[in-house]
Structure 1
Amino acid sequence: MHLTDSHAHVYSEQFKPDRDDMLNRAYEAGVRTIVMPNIDHESIDVMLETEARFPQQCHAMMGLHPCYVTKNFEKELYEVEDWLGKRPFAAVGECGIDLYWDKTTLGWQQEALRVQIELAKKYQLPLVLHTRDAFRETTELVAAGQDGTLRGVYHCFSGTLAEAEEAIRLGFMLGIGGVATFKNGGLDKVLPGLSLDHLLLETDCPYLAPVPHRGKRNEPAYLPLVARRVAELLGKDVEEVVQATTQNAQKLFSL
């Protein structure tokens, strides 16, 4: 199997003690491609170092995570654009809006997302969206910016079927991760109504480990657990799910 983890923070400090072993475990589990979202200026060096050491497996994005949007966000975005002009990246992201942790920065988050939507269009790159407790707020800006060229993925999707269909209508895919394996994750009511054409697999590691590892550090080697659960919910063979989601990722990220 050739799985693609479309969203994994494998450069995270949590992997510092065993990053090489973790990436080797991923490869042995069939995860041959990993797409890494950027967080802010502090994550760039270690992310690019990870990509340089594992160039066949790891591919970097460039963006500003909504949880790291502060009063200095404009300076952060200048650095994002500077990097986008220097070398190729798989996507702009992760970006979006997060109202789970801090609602007071909503205005800054909205402006940061508007800028990154325009960067995605300027550099003809997909947009990787973070929408925790903010599907509506994020989608309003995406819809306003959609000129027929904007594409991307709603990462860590855990919304309703109606929200899934709205994202797909906007030209976006849905990133499905460990939540699909959770007893009350809600995706058992959503995925059966969707086509494989619109899905990507992801871990969002080191977060959101799938059952039976829930609550522990997540890693790409656990992605087959997500693939099996998606196959079960769609009534498909796991090989079909793996092949389709990998093709979707390769096309979206131009891997």
Structure 2
Amino acid sequence: MVTGASSGIGRTTALLFAERGARVFGTSRRERPDEGGVRMLRLDVRSDESVRECVDEVLAQADGIDILINNAGVMLEGFAEETAPDEARAVFETNFFGAVRLVDAVLPGMRERRRGRIVNVGSLAAWIGEPGEGFYAASKAALARYTESLRHEVWHLGIKVCLVEPGVFATEVLDAATAAGAAIADYDGPRESARATLHGALRRGEDPRKAAQVVWKAATARAPRGRYGAGGQSFVVPRLRTLAPQRLVDIALRRAYGLPRR
């Protein structure tokens, strides 16, 4: 079962699994036709009822869910002060609590069978609070720590949990992105610079199939690691964040986003 399978990494992942012989159920917030052997179902991960109904529909058609891939996610563009609490909560409802809802829905069946695999798709943004993406980064950081805890909690039950953190891939994530509603003039210049940097990076992003192949590896490895990076930046960013002095990280980030150094 792959959430957020209508486009980007989710769609590519679902199609890859189907190509390799898996029976795949993909989900989307809107009605989507089946594609390439992927049975598409409607699901709003923000809704407890929608999650229950969707999982029940899958279980009515299959003996159980062997692999859950939590990929559904949204992006919010805007600086922190410009973002209302309700806007920030909406990001967490999809990126974090959406994954939690799906995990809670599939774990009973996995516990009963004493086997299963859960792959949560995070982001390298969890490692560095990039300007203009603060609440997106925060939601992915929360997902990373939740995944780590869950991994240890269900290990003895034969259920394996891991995290895949993609870097920048060419997807349609910005097509569905929302903007913070309260623009503040003092942030106009830095915000536009940060936005241009993000949009430029996504236009030059890597092929989503590379990320899908990493998800496949995480979902099928006999002894999966706790974390898998995906993309050219996945090796550099965590090491930069953990090994480089904070001052150098600050300088590099501000330079990359064209922000004032003051």
- Looking at secondary structure, tell me which structure has more helix per residue: 2
The answer to whether the superposition gives a TM-score over 0.5 is no
- Report the TM-score, using the length of structure 2 for normalisation: 0.38
